[in-house]
Amino acid sequence: MFKIIGPFSKKNTSLMKVALDTLAALLKSKTNARRAVDRGYVHVLLTIYVDWHRHDSRHRYMLIRKGVLQCIKSVTNIKLGRKAFIDANGMKILYNTSQECLAVRTLDPLVNTSSLIMRKCFPKNRLPLPTIKSAFHFQLPVIPASGPVAQLYNLPPDVDDVVDESDDNDDAETESEIENEIEDDKDQHFKNDDIETDINKLKPRQELGRPLEELKMYEKFFPELSENFQECDLVSEEPKPFVPDANLGGPIVVPTAGEEVSAEANLSVKGISLKESNSLLTEECNRRPAFLELPKKDSIKDSSLLQQNDQRKLLPSCQCLSQEIVKGLDRISLQNSTKSDQYYAGCVIKKENKASLTPLACSKTCEHVSPCGGSLFEGSSVHLGKLCCTGVDSEEEDSRSSSSGEQVVLEVSDVSPVHDCDLYIEMVKNTKSIPEYSEVAYPDYFGHIPPPFKEPILERPYGVQRTKISQDIERLIHQNDIIDRVVYDLDNSSWSVPEEADVLKFNSKFESGNLRKVIQIRKNEYDLILNSDINSNHYHQWFYFEVSGMKTGIGYRFNIINCEKSNSQFNYGMQPLMYSVQEALNSRPSWTRVGTDICYYKNHFSRSSIAAGGQKGKSYYTITFTVTFQHKDDVCYFAYHYPYTYSTLKMHLQKLESMHNPQQIYFRQDVLCETLAGNSCPLVTITAMPESNYYDHICQFRNRPYIFLSARVHPGETNASWVMKGTLEYLMSNNPNAQSLRESYIFKIIPMLNPDGVINGNHRCSLSGEDLNRQWQNPNPDLHPTIYHAKGLLQYLAAIKRLPLVYCDYHGHSRKKNVFMYGCSIKETMWHTNVNAASCDLMEDPGYRTLPKILSQTAPAFCMGSCSFVVEKSKESTARVVVWREIGVQRSYTMESTLCGCDQGKYKGLQIGTRELEEMGAKFCVGLLRLKRMSSPLEYNLPSSLLDIENELIESSCKVTSPTTYVLDEDEPRFLEEVDYSAESNDDQDIELAENAGDYEATNQEDGLSDSDSTRILLS
């Protein structure tokens, strides 16, 4: 074959093409490939390719050129071939030729194949870390007997867990080459294998799991079941407190995190603290919460804003960026010691250097004296606009009214009445973090107002990923151009902040922050490495960090290089979020979607088998985005999604407690338990006060059905907290529907199941290094206290025959659009297996579909087509399945909210924001009210028009692909650039795409894909 092929010639081109195709096929054999390398054919093939490239100026022989590349690609499947390719200067040759081909679109197959070869031959690099374990250490009280955490603790101290010691054999290499094929095959096999087929396991079986005597410890969390309200004057004009032990005598006292003995610690019994007594007390404590009234859909934007502005005049502590807040910058201090320096919002200022603020011009000089390098505005003076001290009313009203014509009016107020900057600082003082943070991020202090403009899902420019990959390859070819300088490092205590004016400064040492290391690659390009979850060596996805020292008019490229998921919504139009302090001081305190040239792709940093669960040859992935800043020397924050810290939650709960009308609303905040780090896990009870203390009214009060809600078991899913915020504010509002809802149900809410994970910037785990949503079957009271006691509450309700009507756990989904639900159904699960005959005899109440169906009709972001009611083996220890199977709650759900945006309904084509998330939380409540109104005395006898379940299920069971979460996880069609998505692509890429197009076509209806998406699938 090598005798037939040769340099450029116009003769015998057909024979040449056939010979190249045959040779490429033969070289797939390792033996043949080794023989070709031994005979020096790699260098020959490169020489032939260059010759054809130079002479084929009219691109008539592209197929021959591609045939030569296919031969090179086959040879480089073995390690010897890759080494020979590097030695023959193949990287530079293919890089230069592919760059020359970029101008001609028809030559894209050559560019893509060249890119695949170069990426495959790119030497695998070590992630520049001393260890992939978290930079923060927390010693567990109990070490699990088995599992990843046990393996982590049992590793010898001298083991290098960043790379594998030996990866030299060809088998290991070929394993990485066909990695994608294997994973695709696995998905096909496991789609149905993971579905639970054992009917005995599927049938809900109520089990207390704990002795009744032990469950009585939870009785104190249900005082509403025994409260007689005799001491409450329920018809008095003046609101009176209904909780006799509430502290109504003085200002709030929040002990600092440094104090060893707190009041709560003295009250704790078996790890469960008694009711929090530190109720917020202000002069507005007894004021009716008129400002929580949610505007109606048809309300005029401007008038609602005027109303909000009036309310903010009445309630100065609720202002977000008023004169008080800017002045408050001088008052923030998180120091418990008597040092003369004051730490605030990531900035350190000497007391004597404080500049006074005037309404005309503001300037602050911040000296860098922070021991942990958290300076803002280092060495420079920041001039703030005159509006920064005069409140936000005028400019905000103008900016909003100017865009009111196209703005969608939602049923959630724009300016949150529950944000109080000073109270936030008080909350932070009592928040215990493992790194012992002493700084506050500006966005958490100022708060967030949704921007008054729409943020569409970003159009992906063609070729952006290929461009980024070629720039990565340039690093190897032009190594002298790479700066390779560490500018931020949590692992190195002696690291110092760079002093050069043109180098960005980074910081993540604040609550929920996550950024471990930053390396400057080129003048305006930085590689960023995320910290793994504490007591874990993976889960890199959540990021939240601060950047300062920027210039305007320059595109800064940020590459987060140690991501692990194989795909991301960053490939489908999602943008990261940025918060500008300058904009906040100019009355625009908003997180906004930013970034261009965004893509997510496999990189050349290798993951050790320790980090990849025993699999060898795995690589990390890169999120890359480019940002041009609006203001020079601004302080900006970047985040994966809208941050919502534990301290923010505590502040919101305090404000809700202080602002509610105790004659109308029964609101109670308890401490369910303490976390591993000693933070309290709040438990909230909300319902309506009884009409009077007469027997009938008290009975009606006590007999209301329970709704049990929880959220934020996964710290990186911050959208779940924003949905929960919408739920809580709606439940506490004066809306007549909200009052009806309170009169219908008693709400038990755990708004944050994983406070420690949230505080310390984890993505998925708690301090135990485990996913808490996989611990519901057998939670350990020492390692998983919040899950243990949350389950205990539900077990107690089951024991006293007061099962919740609905249980819902709020989550976020990283790879799907819209909001949707997972539920549990025996019949639907059986229909998606091969055991169809057995399911014919099953009788099942279809009521589990009612609430999702209602939400699909009332909530614009909700998509019924993405819902699934299949029970998988891999999810058997999640809250949804355990509460359904063990506790016996038929309507047990996980509600998933997108991190990206919507591809259907009113918000189609838009990225999701906090306004839409909070609206979803409110709409969930409206759905519960409709569920109540639809229920007859038989409770589940629902109109057939709403729930024509049987036909729907029969139709769905006939589909080729079952709507399990395996399908749902892969929510997007393959995009046009997938040919260069993986470094280890196979030759049959086009065939594979054609074969799989049918699968994706079958799921279009379920996944809510748009027509353009469907077209894109078929085109690819």
In a 13 Å sphere around the CA of 567, the CA atoms on its Cβ side amount to 19
Q: What are phi and psi of 66, to 5 degrees?
A: -70, -35
Q: Rounded to an integer, what distance in angstroms lies between the CA atom of residue 195 and that of residue 193?
A: 6
813: β partners? 898
> Which of 770, 896, 978, 984 is flagged as catalytic?
896
C-alpha pair distances (Å), 303 with each of 105, 293, 299, 450 = 54, 14, 8, 18
Q: What are phi and psi of 59, to 5 degrees?
A: 55, 40
Q: Rounded to an integer, what distance in angstroms lies between the CA atom of residue 500 and that of residue 23?
A: 55
Q: Rounded to an integer, what distance in angstroms lies between the CA atom of residue 889 and that of residue 537?
A: 36
Q: Rounded to an integer, what distance in angstroms lies between the CA atom of residue 987 and that of residue 985?
A: 7
Residue with tokens 């009884």: 690
> In 3D, which of 518, 511, 448 has the Cα closest to residue 484?
518
For β-strands 544-548 and 635-639, DSSP reports them as antiparallel
Q: Rounded to an integer, what distance in angstroms lies between the CA atom of residue 518 and that of residue 514?
A: 12
Q: Rounded to an integer, what distance in angstroms lies between the CA atom of residue 348 and that of residue 350?
A: 7
**Type of residue at 752:** M
Task: State both tokens at 592.
Answer: 């906004």
Q: Rounded to an integer, what distance in angstroms lies between the CA atom of residue 887 and that of residue 205?
A: 7
Q: Rounded to an integer, what distance in angstroms lies between the CA atom of residue 588 and that of residue 611?
A: 42
SS (H, E, C) 591-643: EEECCEEEEEEEEEEECCCCCCCCCCCCEEEEEEEEEECCCCCCEEEEECCCC
822: enclosing H helix or E strand:
strand 819-822
Q: Rounded to an integer, what distance in angstroms lies between the CA atom of residue 136 and that of residue 533?
A: 9
Query: Do residues 656 and 667 make contact, with C-beta atoms less than 8 angstroms apart?
Result: yes
Distance of CA 433 to the CA centre of its chain: 20
Query: Do residues 721 and 653 make contact, with C-beta atoms less than 8 angstroms apart?
Result: no
855: enclosing H helix or E strand:
helix 850-858
Task: State both tokens at 71.
Answer: 């031969």
C-alpha pair distances (Å), 93 with each of 87, 96, 559 = 11, 5, 26
658: β partners? none
Q: Rounded to an integer, what distance in angstroms lies between the CA atom of residue 805 and that of residue 792?
A: 17
For β-strands 577-580 and 555-563, DSSP reports them as unpaired
In a 3-state reduction of DSSP, which class is residue 808?
strand
Q: At how many degrees (to 10) do helices 736-744 and 719-731 cross?
A: 90
Q: At how many degrees (to 10) do helices 62-75 and 41-55 cross?
A: 160
Dihedral sign of CA atoms 623, 626, 630, 634 in order? positive
**Type of residue at 998:** G
Q: Please, which residues have CB within 8 angstroms of residue 705's CB and are 6 or more apart in sequence?
A: 744, 745, 746, 802, 804, 805
**Type of residue at 729:** E
User: What letter would DSSP give residue 426?
Assistant: H
User: What letter would DSSP give residue 514?
Assistant: B
> In 3D, which of 20, 124, 3 has the Cα closest to residue 63?
20
The verdict on whether 546 is a catalytic residue reads no
Enzyme catalytic residues: 896
